[in-house]
Structure 1
Amino acid sequence: MMTAPGRVRPSPGPVEATPRVLCVGATSESWLALSRALRPLRCVALQVPSLESAFLEVQHTRPSLVLVHWRQLVAGAGMGLRALRLRLGGDGPPVVLVAEPETPAEVLEVGDAEGVEDCLLSPLRTHELRARLAMLAGGGVPAASVRASRVRSRLLLLAGASGPLAWSGLGALLEACGHRILYSATVGGGAARVAEQGERPDLVLSREGAPGVPRGLPSPRLQPLLAGVPSLTLDADAPVRPASLLPRIHALLGREDASLRVEARVRFCCPVSFGESGPRGAEWRSGVSSALSPGGLLVRTLVPAKAGTAVELHILLPTLGERLETHGVVAWAHAYAPRNGVSHPYGMGVRFLGMGPPRLMQLRQLCQAEVRP
């Protein structure tokens, strides 16, 4: 006698890894608010009281995101954060600073110098944490939006430069313009690395021939990759002057004045909130500014707005205890994605729009005050 079949159980689908968020800081009211914000996100929240204990915790825990309270950077002046960054490695999880409106600018500068890539303002909002976790999982931005954003991101090959601070900081300025930079000892070596990633550089800058720098031309197999790519060769014996090179570089790229006058910027760290303008109002997100000029600012955040988006900005000025409100447009954006050996900052460059004369004068005074010794 045959029996009726029971309910067929669906085959289990792929099990997604539960995101782990490591919170570094002593228990406080702000940390309790963080726990409340993390609770509905279906993630594992781990808390350690200090950077030293976080260094030990990551030995057996693989966090998806590391949140560091700003007070952890006061006593050790960032030394513990530097060690933690080294332990996490270049491909490790992003480190986000949890700040407050009264966080001193000096603390933000330490975080920026030690590799903090984002900033969350307390009290923390659930949608901000959700956006970052979704970005880390690869589902934070529609694929079409990511592709459109990356089209505007130029890939520059710098041959003979060891990093952003080489050549009088030219690489750092180019990164602040929104370009992705591949640093290589030689043109040939850089072309081989670009070929491995399946990309084609938009510009080649070389300073080969300098003392201790070997000259390496691309192999015949790689020469078609660089055919037609604009190039600029710098004099190995002359000092590099980034302010005069940037207009030439952007002219070769066919790019109009989209550099946000980066050569006029000064290092200026302050919390920033931004919201995309729209009929339904703005959903505010936060980040931290690492550079400021009268024309615009650089905002470090894992979840920037798309390039070309109009945004409203709230810039907290710790030195004055004021909040500057203005509008801007996103000139370039780098959302979170694997770098694959290419150097660029996560975040966006914002050009100010409609800045009134009083506020513009205030920004100029702030920039001048930062440049003075």
Structure 2
Amino acid sequence: MMSAPRHVRPSPAPAESLPRVLCVGATRESWLALSRALRPLRCEASQVPSLEAAFLEVRHARPSLVLVHWRELVAGAGLGLRALKPRLGVDGPPVLLVAEPETPADALEAGDAEGVEDCLQMPLRTHELRARLAALEGPPPWARTGRDAPRLLLLAGACGPLAWGGLGALLEACGHRILYGTTVGGGAARVVEQGERPDLVLLSREQSLGTLRGLSFLRAQPLLDGVPSLTVDLEAPVRPATLLPRIHAMLGREAASLRVEERVRFCCPVAFAEVGPRGTEWRSGMSSALSPGGLFIRTLVPVKAGTAVGLHILLPTLGERLETHGVVAWAHPFAPRQGVSHPYGMGVRFLGMGPPRLMRLRQLCQAEARP
């Protein structure tokens, strides 16, 4: 006897995981405004009162985005971001600093030193948070394309950004992506791990590209064959400012790429917007390097290289706001670094700055550069 057909219930679809935003800071009016800005977005938001509590929180649930109020960086006790970031992982969620008009310069400097990757200015606006959450889904289609795209450089024999007279730090400030290898063999291993052909190899005089290719890392050879190389003489003091024009010429980039050798460390909130016939929403970020010719803006949501932007630069030490225009020289939108060293954000070259504002910038940079 045949049994009656039964209705087969379809298996439930997997639940969609929503991005989780972790807010770190004591409950106050600013966090209430943050909750209101997050409410229209499709995300899960939670709040803890301190970095110590955040350290415990991330053990149980991994956030997609971490927002830290600036007061948590100047509390002066307990765990800081230096302890929290290893818990988040090398390729962990980005950490954003939430700043207010009264945020002191030392809080911004502490955030820069402890590795914040973006800055949101109060009052928080929903479109700012929406842009950050959208960035977590993947880089925009223009990322790493075109003549002004950041290049991948291998520094074989350099232990980090401060090696070779700080050459790596200046190259990162030019927007390049850097693979560091403490030895020439380690550099080859990093190339294999990355699986991407570098645009230039820098190595010390006692090493050679032939030595690099002759190692047991045979898989690196297809990625290194034909790659131009530049030898750095470590017997004499390395002068990165004299190497930059030569490196840019070999990469086919403009030699005066923001003139980063003139920059000084200067942390301040920055707002930027694309210049065009239609009104554009302003976005916030933080500058950590400033020169009379341009500045670097840390942000997860930069605009495309070559775009003209308006700038509002808040100078916390002076209580002034500098309004000017610039053009984006390079841009790194958010994407997992996967072992490559580079800053998130964009380098902006000032345009049409009048003599009074230019003189003010030069005075400011000279004051910050003094020991």
2:74 maps to 1:74: yes
- Residue by residue, what CA displacement relative to the aligned partner does 1:255-288 show, whole Å, maximum 9, x if unpaired? 2234200000000000000001122212110000
Task: Tell me if the contact between 1:186 and 1:208 (Cα under 8 Å) persists in the aligned partners.
Answer: no
- Residue by residue, what CA displacement relative to the aligned partner does 1:217-251 show, whole Å, maximum 9, x if unpaired? 44455334323222111123222111111112112
SS at match of 2:310: strand
Cα drift, residue 71 of structure 1:
0.6
Cα drift, residue 367 of structure 1:
0.2
Aligned to 2:56: 56
Please give the root-mean-square deviation of Cα atoms over the aligned residues, in Å.
Answer: 2.3
Q: 1:187 aligns with which of 159, 184, 188?
A: 184
Report the Cα distance in structure 1 between the residues aligned to 2:74 and 2:219, rounded to whole angstroms. Answer: 53
- Residue by residue, what CA displacement relative to the aligned partner does 1:58-108 show, whole Å, maximum 9, x if unpaired? 110110010000011112289511111121111111100000122111110
Task: Tell me if the contact between 1:149 and 1:332 (Cα under 8 Å) persists in the aligned partners.
Answer: no
2:161 maps to 1:157: no
Task: Give the unaligned 5+ runs of structure 1.
Answer: none
SS at match of 1:83: helix
- Of the structure 1 ranges 216-225 and 177-186, higher mean CA displacement relative to structure 2 is found in 216-225
Aligned to 1:199: 196
SS at match of 1:58: helix
2:166 maps to 1:169: yes
Q: TM-score, normalised by structure 2?
A: 0.91
Report the Cα distance in structure 2 between the residues aligned to 1:342 and 1:77, rounded to whole angstroms. Answer: 32
Aligned to 1:22: 22
Report the Cα distance in structure 1 between the residues aligned to 2:146 and 2:276, rounded to whole angstroms. Answer: 19
Task: Tell me if the contact between 2:264 and 2:365 (Cα under 8 Å) persists in the aligned partners.
Answer: yes
Task: Tell me if the contact between 2:245 and 2:256 (Cα under 8 Å) persists in the aligned partners.
Answer: no
Task: Tell me if the contact between 1:187 and 1:217 (Cα under 8 Å) persists in the aligned partners.
Answer: no
Cα drift, residue 150 of structure 1:
9.3
- Residue by residue, what CA displacement relative to the aligned partner does 1:172-207 show, whole Å, maximum 9, x if unpaired? 110000000000123343234324433211111112
Report the Cα distance in structure 2 between the residues aligned to 1:10 and 1:279, rounded to whole angstroms. Answer: 51
Structure 1 193/252 Cα, relative in aligned 2: closer, same or farther at 3 Å? same
Q: Percent identity?
A: 80
SS at match of 1:259: coil
Aligned to 1:229: 227
Structure 1 316/249 Cα, relative in aligned 2: closer, same or farther at 3 Å? same
Report the Cα distance in structure 2 between the residues aligned to 1:31 and 1:134, rounded to whole angstroms. Answer: 21
Structure 1 331/286 Cα, relative in aligned 2: closer, same or farther at 3 Å? same
Aligned to 2:311: 313
Q: Give, as a single letter, the amino acid of the residue that structure 1 aligns with 2:157.
A: G
2:343 maps to 1:356: no
Task: Tell me if the contact between 2:147 and 2:253 (Cα under 8 Å) persists in the aligned partners.
Answer: no
Aligned to 1:365: 363
Report the Cα distance in structure 2 between the residues aligned to 1:191 and 1:81, rounded to whole angstroms. Answer: 32
Q: Give, as a single letter, the amino acid of the residue that structure 2 aligns with 1:185.
A: T
Task: Tell me if the contact between 2:164 and 2:234 (Cα under 8 Å) persists in the aligned partners.
Answer: no
Structure 1 79/289 Cα, relative in aligned 2: closer, same or farther at 3 Å? farther
Report the Cα distance in structure 2 between the residues aligned to 1:182 and 1:319, rounded to whole angstroms. Answer: 36
Structure 1 238/79 Cα, relative in aligned 2: closer, same or farther at 3 Å? farther
Task: Tell me if the contact between 1:328 and 1:352 (Cα under 8 Å) persists in the aligned partners.
Answer: yes
Q: Give, as a single letter, the amino acid of the residue that structure 2 aligns with 1:158.
A: L
Cα drift, residue 146 of structure 1:
2.5
